[in-house]
Chains A and B, each alone.
Chain A
Amino acid sequence: MENINLIIPEITLFLGICLALMVGVFFKNSFSIVMKLSILILLGVIYLVLTDWGGEQKIFLDSFKNDKFSDYFKILILVSSIFIFVSADQFIKDKKLNKFEYPIIIMFSILGMFFMLSANDLILFYLGLELQSLALYVLASIDRDNIISSEAGIKYFVLSALSSGLLLYGCSLLYGFTGSTNFDEIGVSLITQNTGAIFAMVFILVGLAFKVSAVPFHMWTPDVYQGAPTSITNFFAVVPKAVGLAIIIRFMDLPFKNIIGEWQTIIIFISIASMILGSVAAIGQKNIKRLLAYSSISHMGYALAGVATGTVSGYTSTIIYITIYIIMNMGTFACIYLMKTDGKYSEKIEDLSGLSKERPMLAFSFLILFFSLAGIPPLGGFFAKFFVFMSVIESEMYALAIIGLLTTVISAFYYLKVIKIIYFDNNKVKFDDDRNLSIKATIFLSCLFLSLYFISPSIIGSLLNELFI
């Protein structure tokens, strides 16, 4: 008998989704009740994941693996999803997106991510990926009467399907050349001389790079970020990115661990390209969501720099990076929810001008968040970059480190531009005085974390220390 306990969080999540679906179908105007139920379900799943937080265990012919690494990411995506649900609540209602499908689809994508994170087998991994992607396609176009949102959905669907196809092709090649779909077995039998498998590695890497929107597979990001409703963008910016990075680390650490020389060059290239393009292309942006899209591309570049080292400390630094990145983005998007004049949401950066006079606290939050995104000490974003470059220089990859550090200067320019607009320019638009407590709590927690992180910068690191043992 298999130890079914391992998969209880997934089962609970699935049953919870079904329950929520039933409630949604049989009650009228059921959005808020489904929403509350979903938050409860996610909280319950957090509890379940935490209770069997522990050592590595495998079930179902070693195709499903539960370890601290996957548990950590599960907690991360659950917590951030709850924050998104809570802080985007008002936005969803204002935009009339309050259909009960919205939380349910998000939960389906989370379920897919759970399987991706725990997969120890190509087939299970691919199934999880497809479940997640399908849900994301729908999410991107959830504002179906809005032409930009539909366009974003189509764009995301076409490109993502293509990348999934490439990834699947890579998986099949990998199976063909190594004779197994199990990560551990592939890891053992894969050697540098196996040219076919290296082809497979490239295909899989392309598919994964698409999911984290690394250059040159980033084309969808700005359009989808801009087109999708802000709450969905918030989800896109945070959760699938974290999972994508986790999967890249998983693949590099397990099946591809013997061909490090081969994939390292590719990841270094992707990382440098993302850092440069993300920082240069963001300079001209006028829409704050587009700006954040390019900013996220460059952030993925930094996070991948940690992966490129191929060492445990590098992987750890990437996980620290993505954790702090998530916190910064949660805060920033929560601030964007407050950019509202007369009930209409605004996305133009210039609408922020002179914000510091009308809404000093909101402006101050933007200040902390954007300086943190730019990586200026003593804010949290600096330490994220610091740990990454620490491990990059440890691996003696000096060119990567220096290019990365120089691009932080370029990217500082456009973050400064937003701060300049907020603090130095004269007031134009007056935002509504919002008394939404949940948004403010999200911003407050995020800013508090970022500004106090310097007191004990090793807090995430020490949590992660056990992950790779």
Chain B
Amino acid sequence: MNFPILSTIIFLPLLGSLFIFISNKKNENSSAIYISIFTSMANLLLIFFLWYSFDKSFAGFQFIEEKNWISGLIKFKIGIDGISILFIVLTAFITPICIISCIISVKKRLNEFLIAILILETFMIGVFCSLDLIIFYLFFEAGLIPMFLIIGIWGGHRKIYSAYKFFLFTLLGSVLMLAAIIFIYWAVGTTDYTEIYKLKIAKEYQYLLWLAFFSSFAVKTPMWPVHTWLPDAHVEAPTAGSVILAAILLKMAGYGFLRFSLGMFPIASEFFTPLVFALSIIAIIYTSLVALMQDDMKKLIAYSSVAHMGFVTLGIFTFNKQGIEGSMFQMISHGIISAALFLCVGVLYDRTGSRMIKSFGGVVNYLPNFSLIFIIFVLGALGLPGTTGFIGEFLILLGAFKINYLVAILASTGVVLCAAYMLWMAKRVVFGNANNAVVTKLKDINFLEATILIVLCLVSIIFGFYPEPLLNTMDISVNGIIQNHQNELTVNLINK
């Protein structure tokens, strides 16, 4: 097919944001709302079409587009495989939900918010499409600008501190990755991922390069001990910002580990596995314990994100099919469920101006529909069978048991702890008596809120019972990654 569908889906949101920018008028945002919804929905449809026409039995990259970019140095190369397509679908699916949620809750400067979200969508889809390391870095970093503005302009009262922390932490991690990418260019002669995959990077370079990439992805994931920016950013960001952050931006790091760390540095990945396992286990147990003690619902969900991403990194570095597919599934599931949880907190916050657990209680008596959905997502987050959360965690633990009992058992405690903090929060917020007179006067969710939450709920349950479409899509690509990894290790052993 000659039609450049990937470029279209990358740059369509940018085009939409340009239209909003042009039609921008003060105190007039209906056109911006229509344009943004239209663009994001059109993009979603295009991406569904892409998913439909995607060849699931082909291991390599598809829909490849190549164009001379920096003459003689770097090509603009994009393409997708079974792993990236799922993230693209996730991005395109979450973006309209974010847009609708900010139409509901953002009161000031809505136009700019919509512009920022659409630009962010371009960068996020770009990250998952790029097959050249420089292009990847470009999109990866560019996302910082809109996110910085989203946290800073529409955030809560400590927004400035959080926006700085978010920006500088991520930038610090990424500049080392940039150095590594440039080094790869001179060591291998190209930054084209598919070429590097074939040419292989010499073993002695792999360790330092892996660490440089790790520094970037670990901050973004975020892994313990560089996770501290996430609770701040989540708490202060507006609802839609938190949703994008949790659902997609964190996934860029998981995707990066899977695609680049494993694909390019198999020997170093094997070597550093104990490090990743240790950090993941600490993240799972420590942040779960921290989450237990939170008073702020958003902070609690943020810490639970760190724990869930701990599962993801654990699964990726098991290097077996169950572990990696579980990680992929966990990322998508976390993308849906944490997004929904943030939206639920947003619903309460819009009504009361508070996110504190203690200012609620007995919500079920006054917002029954909301409470039902909220409880479904809480159960999803703790991995109840029948939701996507279960399948991800189950597969990861399965993969972990295959290689290391101790790690698997320690990680399993995380599941219990997750149930503890999630259910305890749900108990204090939803059930019991109302601690606050404000709660008694609340109105239940309106049509728009209900729509987006129910859509998320359905997706979570459908894929929870029938994960086949997702697993099927990623299967061949995941096999390819594992195969490559094992080949490399064997070659390495023979050389020894």
Contacts and interface: CB of A to CB of B under 8 A. Distances in A.
Given A377-B141, A420-B152, A424-B152, A457 B70 contact: yes
Contacts of A389: 178-179, 182
Summarize A's interface: helix, strand, loop or mixed.
helix
Nearest to A417: B164
Given A423-B153, A457-B69, A377 B171 contact: no
B182 A401 contact: yes
Contacts of A393: 179, 182-183, 185-186
Given A377-B142, A393-B182, A409 B153 contact: no
**Band of interface residues on A:** 20 to 34
Interface string A374-417: 00111000100010011001100010011001101100110010
A458 B183 contact: no
Most chain A CB within 10 A, of B70, B142, B164, B185, is at B70
A193 interface: no
A54 interface: no
Contact of B138 (A356, A378, A462): A378
Contacts of B137: 377
Interface stretch (B97-105, B143-151, B259-267): B143-151
Interface string B1-30: 000000000000000000000001000000
Interface string A111-153: 0000000000000000000000000000000000000000000
B159 A458 contact: no
Nearest to B167: A416
Nearest to B126: A378
Given A378-B138, A394-B186, A412-B167, A462 B71 contact: yes
B141 A408 contact: no
A371 B145 CA distance: 8
A170 to B, nearest CB: 35
Nearest to A421: B160
Contact of B179 (A377, A378, A402): A402
B175 A406 contact: yes
Contacts of B73: 390, 458
Interface residues of B, number: 35
B376 interface: no
Contact of A420 (B138, B160, B176): B160
Nearest to B108: A357
Contacts of A454: 138
A461 interface: yes
B171 A409 contact: yes
Nearest to A402: B179
B455 interface: no
Contacts, number: 86
B172 interface: yes
B168 interface: yes
Interface in A222-260: none
Interface string B163-193: 1100110011001101100110110000000
B261 to A, nearest CB: 20
Given A420-B152, A424-B153, A408 B175 contact: yes
Contacts of A462: 71
B141 A376 contact: yes
Most chain B CB within 10 A, of A402, A405, A413, is at A405
A26 to B, nearest CB: 50
Nearest to B137: A377
B164 A413 contact: yes
B349 to A, nearest CB: 20
Given A376-B171, A377-B142, A408-B171, 6 more contacts: A393-B186, A412-B171, A416-B168, A420-B164, A423-B149, A456-B69
6 contacts: A398-B179, A401-B179, A409-B168, A416-B148, A420-B160, A424-B152
Interface of B: 24, 69-73, 112, 134, 137-139, 141-142, 144-145, 148-149, 152-153, 159-160, 163-164, 167-168, 171-172, 175-176, 178-179, 182-183, 185-186
Instruction: Kindly list the 9 A-B residue pairs having the minimum CB-CB distance in the complex, ordered from nearest.
Output: A405-B175, A458-B71, A458-B70, A377-B138, A424-B152, A393-B182, A377-B141, A409-B172, A378-B142
Interface of A: 356, 360, 367, 371, 376-378, 382, 386, 389-390, 393-394, 398, 401-402, 405-406, 408-409, 412-413, 416, 419-420, 423-424, 454, 456-458, 461-462
